[in-house]
Structure 1
Amino acid sequence: MSNLVLAIDDDKLVHHIVEQSLLHSCKVIHAYSGEEGLKMAAQQRPDIILLDIEMPGPSGFEVCERLKANPQLCDIPVMFLSSKSAISERMRGYNAGGADYIVKPFDSDEMLARIKVLDEYRRQSLKLKQDVQKAQITAEIAMSDSGDMGRIMRYVGQSYHAHDLNTLSEYFFEFFVPLQLQVAVAFWYHDSEVFYSQEGAIQPLEQELLEKHRNGDRFVDFGRRTIINYPKVSLLIKNMPTDDAGLYGRYKDLLPHILEATNAKIKDMEVSEVALTKVEQIGLAFEELSDQLGEVASAYNDKLAQFSAYVSSDQANGKQAEAKQLFEHFSLINDDFSIIRYKLGEITEVRHELIQSLNQMAKPWGEEDVPAQTDIELF
């Protein structure tokens, strides 16, 4: 990683720490006020900006808003540097356009790690920018109110054929393209959390906000952002039209339907995964039992052959009737062993067929099998 990093801070000590932290990985340029930082950003076009919040003149929040309002600078990731750790400050930073937020004093290793995350986010965003532009063209096809239910029904049909989170997220994001909504999503899968963004990589601050509000209200509005929470999925809308009461109300009525469907699908995926695991465990237990019975039966057959030879020998003179009766008893037991092994073999075959069926169900459908949201005719 060799990036150009612009540090904007009125504290010379912070500049020194940033310089030392990124000495071997980035080139750092320095600005000591918000106005100077804006000029240097326009001149140098840095890859990443580190921005202090409390400075003479325009605050870091104001500087970030001006950066994001400039079409030529708006794609540069901004990391806020602040001595305040409250969630309200982080939300304010995110509303201003920040991608990450680090609290002073910070560790050099932490700074470098966060720079690497922002660099990866920036690279993926640039790579996907062309696709986003194509999606915006598609979004010009307006969806009327009567078409909302059609799109929801199409998504439910698509999600039925999604059996992994990557495929589900692709169908999920397709739904939002005609709505011209920019979104990120968190799937709370089993005991883990999986994040996706239309931009390819989710910003660290977006991830943090989704995590912190997971157990909050169903709707969490802050600025032009809205988080909608369900037990297995949380949606972050980055450009909620809060200034348009009609459109805002329409989305608040519409979006819970797709989230309810997604929530139910994730629960179904969890149950299916557990069921498949249990089937495999039971099958392995039966196979192990069958092998053990096979070893017992083999040893039993050897002893039965020896006993048969004894019954026919002179050593059993005068006891043939009793020996023969005992031999027949052991033969019946041996037949029972054979039947048990046969039934276990049948169970093992059925288990293999069941696993194949479950795995076949879990295979994602190809794009040619499931129409995209943009291919359907709305009613």
Structure 2
Amino acid sequence: MEYKVLVVGCNDIKKLGENLGDQFSLLAVATAQETFHLPDLEEYKLAIVLDKEADGTGAQAQVRALKHHPVISPLPVVVLATEERDLDSRLGFYDAGCDDHIQFGNGAELQVRLMKAIFNRIANEQLKQQLDKANEMAFIAMSDTSDLGVNIQFLLDINQCENLDQAGMRLFQALKSYSISSSLQIRSRFGEKNMEANGMAKDLESTLLRECSEMGRYVDFGKRSIMNYGRVSLLVRNMPVDDSNKYGAIKDNVFSLLQGLDARVGALDNVESLKLESQLVVKLTSRMTHIMEGIDKGYHDVMVRIADAVEDIADGIEQEIQFLGMDEQQEQVIQKVLEKGILETNRVFNEGLKMDKSLTGYLTEVGRVFASDKVKTEELMALVEKIPANG
């Protein structure tokens, strides 16, 4: 097969043709501008620019001119240099748009590299054609996709969203197929999020969504509709009120999207609650360990003090027993010593009982909170806050 090649700046096309062989059909022109008026430009497969000047700027200008022509620009442009160029010069040619820079020399190598440039262009054209065809088929498939298909894909994708921002933006992506402009409000257990597909949420719309969230599934006013489902509300600004079929389809289909989003919001809330409960358990375990250490030490001190009190009683009796004639006065002395020991023992025990009062109270509150089937987020947060950070 013979490939038609443009050669720019060639004085001896015969010598160049001998080096390239019979597979190339060469057409010589003095400048790139001369090629612009040639017939059948689309038949050429390659352009060669000769680099003969000392600084190479002239050849670079020729490359740029070829690459700016609408018909010639897709052609691979190869620069043939009569002498070796430094890196900066070759970078200049690359910046100008050339596909290869070859030092004129070995004819076989020159042929191989020129054929490689041509084959690369053919492969790129085939790839572009395949890509264009694939894009066309994809566009047709998307055009034929029903609203049901869009909703099913949304319900599949929404379960992969890891936070409210991702979930909200996934809803806006699905809503593109309905050609509606909207504002979204998500009311999770941990706060309210207002979103727009592009830009920041508007305060007025956010207020309207909040105030209308308990007014039923649909709140219609003019060309606008608010759709509510659980923790999610959507304000549609451009409802097709003049097209009853499209109007009804949007309400029905978009409402199913809100149901899916609401379910994901609930799941994300549960995940956050579990994280909070995990924090509570960790801090509670640390706190209980600290308290139990204090209880152990406290009861140890109690036992020592009880022993001391009993020992004092024994010492008192021993000191008095040698004088016991069991008269009234001696009996009163013994009685006082015993009473003192008993009172001291009771006091020490009472102090010991007070030591676990804080633990008992806190555990009681924890039991009350977790006794409910649905643990309230604010109560969990309050429990976490009551635990000192230092354990």
Q: Same fold (TM over 0.5)?
A: no
Name the TM-score class by shorter chain: 0.3 to 0.5
Give the structure-2-normalised TM-score: 0.38
Larger of the two Rg values belongs to structure: 2
